Structure 1
Amino acid sequence: MITIAGAGVAGLACGYELAKRGEKVRIFDRAPGLAGNGCSWFAGGMLAPWCEGETAEPEVVRLGAGAINWWAQFTPVTRRGTLVVAPPRDQAELARFARRTERHRSVSGDEIGHLEGALSGRFSSGLFFEDEAHLDPRQALTDLVNAVKSLGVEILWDTQAPDRVDVDCRGMHAHLPGLRAVRGEMALIHAPDVHLTRTVRLLHPRVPVYVVPRGDGYYMLGATMVESDAPGPVTIRAMLELLGAAFALHPGFAEAQIVETGSGLRPAFDDNIPRVQWRGETLHVNGFYRHGFLIAPALARAAAAHLSPQRQEAS
């Protein structure tokens, strides 16, 4: 029996990969269930490795390259790419983004209108990352739970993990040396009069923002990264920045209803690169920073290879 502490995206992905190899797995989580459970619940759900290359190390891009197909095994994935735009005064930001990333093509204002009719006439140029995708993280977590259970994995909610486990995926609760918290904040809004079909990133030198469609007029707004270990509700500053940037993207967001706000403490090491590392008899899978759904599949496969080296991955 392989035991895992933490039933966020990291712990569930590890459980899935180990169970596929025929291992018996038990996952512990002190939360009563998925809802509101850590950073995974408030994630953006962008599967955008090449966009992330703008600030992330090449290792993160490499690890995230296979995430789309991994998630598509058991949850809906919208493969419509990522559109990156900037206001006229911030065209230098768009050029800088293009220099720091790969797998994109430049698009004109007319092409932007063709890709997203709601943005027609609003931006003169942009970048289109055709090979990227997004998912609904809450639906994906629910589907991942069902997938691991179908493989025989036992999930013990509302249960403290024992002192010694085989895999520790508890994020900040793992208390690893060198691990720091980066606070992320989000808003879920309902704007039925705005029709976007793919993730759109609006560049700004101070407050870049991404807008991720959730379907039926719902959108997730995010982008804040604050070096802080203070939990709690979303700050007024963050909310003003997110909503102001959304309005700059499309004025129709001014009439949106704020459905939910939330924040989470993302675990990150000093170099912002995730790690799969042994500490004593426990394998720690941690440091996902802002890339949880993107890199969880690759790190889970690496963890499974450590713990179950003699078993082949199931086809």
Structure 2
Amino acid sequence: MRTPTTSGYTILGAGVMGLCTAVELASRGGRVTLVDPQPEPGPHACSWWAGGMLAPFCEGETAEEPVIRLGQTAADWWAAQGVEVIRRGTLVLALGRDRAELDRFAARTREHRWMGGEELAALEPDLDGRFHRGLFFPTEAHLTPRVALCTLRARAAALGVAFARTAPEGQRIDCRGLAARDALPELRGVKGEMLVLRLPDLALSRPIRLLHPRIPVYLVPRGGGIYMLGATMIESAQRGRASVRSVMELLSAVYALHPAFGEAEILEIGTDARPAFPDNVPRLIRRDGTLFLNGLYRHGYLMAPALARMAADHLLSGEPVELLQ
């Protein structure tokens, strides 16, 4: 096995990909400097606005095979870093008029089971009587992204990772997301919009995906009556305000899930652009002496651990790894 370079590793970008890579390299003895204008986790990072669903089988509806396979290791990796991972599965539902969407989703995914109304009510009592059938993915999990980022930063610091605003010498690893388009012009932006709601009177305990032919949504519980509602997928690199149309559609969907959300308090509306390659598969790219880890698309917390492990394997052993170009 190759030993860590004497000049160390310089990671550009302190979002979820940069932090995962820093922790993975440092835990194997690498000397790591993490470079970002704002190295503390915050709203400047795309990963701040994520849903945090570790749902490889649900993502299999549209994702390619590597995402499904490699994403299955994410929950254990996050738990090993000290992040609270909630393993209560994922519930997929559809309104009566959209029941064909549920059949289509079932045909394109695996590791689920059908549930009738009574079983659904046993899982989520506050949905009693609202849905007569649904899909349950029991092995899936979720986490709270902002807590995970802060926990991972603390873990990196404990492992000796240095944080800087300018890059020292060393093997460069570029994890800048969409900002790396200056070197990876094939990257595109996919805008996602989300809301944070508070509704203490409703107690849902696991992520719920509500299918719709045009704008499927997901609802992720954060605890204490707080829910993250997302998310749109708009082909745009624009970072800024959410559109009125998107907010109205998201709120309409969650109201259809349960009318009690009509009384929810909107705590936050957020938006950012996810980096994606044309095929929506993340990868490692060797270019001009730099190793790029990018293209996480909507799979940031699901795929960043796998890419970080691949990067460490490649840098320490020199051998080719999966998803490396």
* TM above 0.5: yes
Indicate whether 1:147 and 2:159 are aligned: no
Distance in structure 1 (CA, Å) of the matches to 2:232 and 2:105: 18
Q: Do the aligned residues in 2 keep the contact of 1:181 with 1:227 (CA within 8 Å)?
A: yes
Report the Cα distance in structure 1 between the residues aligned to 2:114 and 2:63, rounded to whole angstroms: 21
Contact 2:10–2:169 (CA<8 Å) still a contact in 1? no
1:71 aligns with 2:69: no
Residue 234 of structure 1 deviates from its aligned partner by 1.0
Matched with 2:30 is 23
Looking at structure 1, the residues matched to 170 and 259 of structure 2 have their Cα atoms a distance apart, in angstroms, of 53
Equivalent pair of 2:61/2:105 in contact (CA under 8 Å): yes
Contact 1:8 1:37 in 2 (8 A): no
Secondary structure, in 3 states, of the residue corresponding to 1:72?
helix
The code of the aligned residue for 2:251 comes to: L
Q: 1:193 and 2:201 equivalent?
A: yes
What displacement does 1:306 show? 1.4
CA offsets 1:227-255 (integer angstroms, 9 cap, x no match): 01111111111110111111010111110
| Alpha-carbon distance between aligned partners in 2 of 1:165 and 1:232, rounded to the nearest angstrom | 33
Instruction: Determine whether 1:270 maps to 2:281.
Output: no
Question: Which residue matches 2:173?
Answer: 167
Equivalents in 1 of 2:256, 2:56: separation in Å?
Answer: 25
Match 1:179 to one of 177, 187, 191? 187
1:287 and 2:295 are equivalent in the alignment? yes
Residues 14 and 39, structure 2, Cα contact 8 Å, conserved in 1: no
Partner of 1:239: 247
CA contact (8 A) 2:238 2:272 kept: no
Tell me, what secondary structure is at the counterpart of 2:262? helix
Identical columns (%): 56
Q: Displacement of 1:91 after TM fit?
A: 0.6
Question: Could you tell me the TM-score, scaled by structure 1's length?
Answer: 0.96
- Stretches of structure 1 lacking an aligned partner (at least 5 in a row): 311-315
Q: Pick closer, same or farther for the CA change 1:255–1:91 going to 2, 3 Å.
A: same
1:313 alignment partner in structure 2? none
Instruction: Return the offset for 1:163.
Output: 9.5
8 Å Cα contact 1:276/1:286 also seen in 2: yes
Whichever residue aligns with residue 313 of structure 2, its letter is A
> How far did residue 161 of structure 1 move?
4.1
Deviation at 1:192, TM superposition (A): 0.7
CA distance in 2, matches of 1:105, 1:281: 47
Deviations 1:86-116 (A, max 9, x none): 0111110000000000100000011110000
User: Structure 1 pair 146/172, CA: closer, same or farther in 2 (3 Å)?
Assistant: same
CA distance in 1: counterparts of 2:39 and 2:277, whole angstroms: 28
Q: What is aligned with 2:92?
A: 84
RMSD value over aligned CA atoms? 1.4
SS at structure 2 position matched to 1:308: helix
Equivalences, count:
309
- Tell whether the 8 Å contact from 2:199 to 2:225 is kept in structure 1 after alignment: yes
SS of structure 2 residue aligned to 1:297? helix
Given that 1:5 and 1:165 are in contact with CA atoms closer than 8 Å, whether structure 2 keeps it comes out as: no
Tell me the CA shift for residue 31 of structure 1. 2.2
For each residue in 1:43-91, what CA deviation from the matched residue of structure 2 results, as whole angstroms up to 9, or x when unmatched? Answer: 0000000000001111111120100100111111110000000011111
2:145 aligned residue: 137
